[in-house]
């Protein structure tokens, strides 16, 4: 062990706490602002300590929304975000695990071309093909629908590759053993492979849930109805171009609410999160 002298250790603690302060400061300010009076904030008189409007602001944010004419309760936006994130995470895992299963455990004509067709999608995020994708979703009458929100974001290969890699490491003896027990391909998949993949699926779920919850450009384009807005799109629309009308406490409360679910997932499921993050990075 390389010994660290006490002095250097203190420096390390101090630098880390400065780092934490820098990372946490914007969020602290957001929380403080969400408990204060709008007039005070608009005058630039905001204090650095919590104000007394916590319950009032959060109640209005979640159940009513801003005072604008096209207001939408943030609770409803969170529900939309939740449905979208779950659809993306569950949908992607479901279709990927079965296609990886087919590619690893079967030999069939066009197996490799199909693998490559799926593989190439790794390369292009939805941002580079937004308008053509928008047109297709519109032609399929899927604007303002959960399917339209989720499906184009499911079309990518990360999860398939991950499961393929994992299946390759599963010992062949397992398959032979279950074949001797008389299990067919579906039985083997359900009884042996799925339980083995549980940790991988969970790690992937954590990452995909966060990515799904945080989607912005795509929902911005394809949701036109206010009641289909996700929270990320909703918060952008709360900041009016005429600054005087922006209700900052509500905006900040929305920011806090938008951060809560994914941050909660990262902190509580840290092990799975780190694992998923390291594994999905191609």
Partner 1 sequence: MQKQAIFQSKLLPYALVAPQLAIVLIFFYWPALQAVIQSFLLQDAFGLSTTFVWFDNYIELFRDPAYFESIVRTFVFSFAIAVSSLSFALLLAVMADKPLRGSVLYRTLLIWPYAVAPPVVGVLWIFMLHPSLGIIARYLRAMGVDWNPLLDGDQAAALIILAAAWKQISYNFLFFLAGLQAIPKSVLEAAAIDGARPMRRFWTVTFPLLSPTIFFLLVVNIVYAFFDTFGIIDTMTRGGPGTSTVTLVYKVYSDGLLGGNLGSSAAQSVILMIMVIVLTGIQFRFVERKVTY
* 82, 86, 202, 266: residue in contact with partner 1 (rule CB under 8 A): 266
Residue 166 interacts with partner 1 (CB under 8 A): yes or no: no
- Tell me if 198 contacts partner 1 by CB under 8 A: no
The yes or no reply on residue 9 touching partner 1 (CB under 8 A) is yes
- 38 token code pair: 């709008």
Kindly identify the residues of this chain, within the stretch 51-90, that bind partner 1 according to CB under 8 A. Answer: none
**Euclidean distance between CA atoms 18 and 10, whole angstroms:** 12
Rounded CA separation 209/214 (Å): 8
The b/e string for 92-102 (b: 16+ C-beta within 10 A; e otherwise) is bbeebbebbbe
Q: Is the Cα dihedral 39, 43, 44, 45 positive or negative?
A: negative
- Position 235 contacts partner 1 (CB under 8 A): yes
Structure tokens at 35: 């408990």
When asked if residue 7 is in the footprint of partner 1 (CB under 8 A), the reply is no
Region of 52-60, 63-71, 195-203, 249-257 interacting with partner 1 (CB under 8 A)? 249-257
CA distance 162 to 32: 42
Is residue 63 within 8 Å of residue 73, measured between CB atoms? yes
Of 70, 224, 242, 267, the one binding partner 1 (CB under 8 A) is: 267
Among 64, 86, 143, 175, binds partner 1 (CB under 8 A): 175
User: Residue 234 CB, nearest distance to partner 1 (Å)?
Assistant: 10
Would you call 239 helix, strand, or coil by DSSP?
coil
How far apart are alpha carbons 125 and 147 in whole angstroms?
18
204 in contact with partner 1 (CB under 8 A): no
Q: How many residues bind partner 1 (CB under 8 A)?
A: 104
The residue within the footprint of partner 1, chosen from 7, 48, 49, 180 (CB under 8 A), is 48
Length of the chain: 282
- CA dihedral 38→75→87→90, nearest 10 degrees, is 90
The least distance separating partner 1 from the CB of residue 154, rounded to whole angstroms, comes to 6
Contact between 265 and partner 1 per CB under 8 A:
yes
* Site for partner 1, residues 96 to 155, rule: CB under 8 A: 96, 98-99, 101-108, 111, 114, 117-118, 121-125, 127-133, 135-137, 151-152, 154-155
């Amino acid at each position: 062990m390389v010994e660290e002298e006490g002095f250097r250790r203190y420096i390390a603690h101090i630098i880390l706490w400065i780092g934490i302060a820098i990372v946490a400061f914007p969020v602290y300010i957001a929380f403080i602002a969400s408990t204060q009076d709008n007039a005070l904030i608009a005058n630039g008189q905001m204090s650095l300590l919590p104000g007394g409007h916590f319950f009032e602001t959060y109640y209005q944010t979640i159940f009513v929304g801003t005072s604008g004419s096209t207001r939408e309760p943030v609770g409803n936006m969170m529900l939309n975000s939740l449905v979208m994130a779950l659809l993306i995470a569950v949908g992607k895992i479901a279709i990927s695990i079965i296609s990886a299963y087919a590619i690893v455990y079967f030999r069939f004509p066009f197996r490799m071309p199909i693998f490559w067709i799926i593989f190439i999608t790794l390369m292009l995020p939805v941002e580079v093909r937004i308008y053509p994708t928008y047109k297709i979703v519109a032609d399929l009458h899927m604007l303002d629908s959960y399917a339209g929100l989720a499906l184009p974001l499911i079309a990518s290969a990360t999860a398939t590759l991950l499961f393929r890699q994992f299946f390759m490491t599963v010992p062949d003896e397992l398959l032979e053993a279950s074949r001797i027990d008389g299990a067919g391909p579906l039985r083997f998949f359900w009884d042996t492979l799925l339980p083995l993949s549980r940790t991988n699926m969970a790690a992937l779920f954590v990452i995909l849930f966060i990515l799904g919850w945080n989607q912005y450009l795509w929902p911005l384009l394809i949701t036109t109805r206010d009641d289909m807005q996700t929270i990320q799109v909703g918060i952008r629309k709360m900041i009016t171009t005429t600054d005087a009308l922006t209700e900052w406490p509500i905006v900040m409360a929305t920011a806090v609410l938008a951060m809560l679910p994914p941050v909660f997932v990262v902190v509580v499921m840290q092990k799975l999160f780190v694992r998923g993050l390291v594994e999905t990075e191609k």
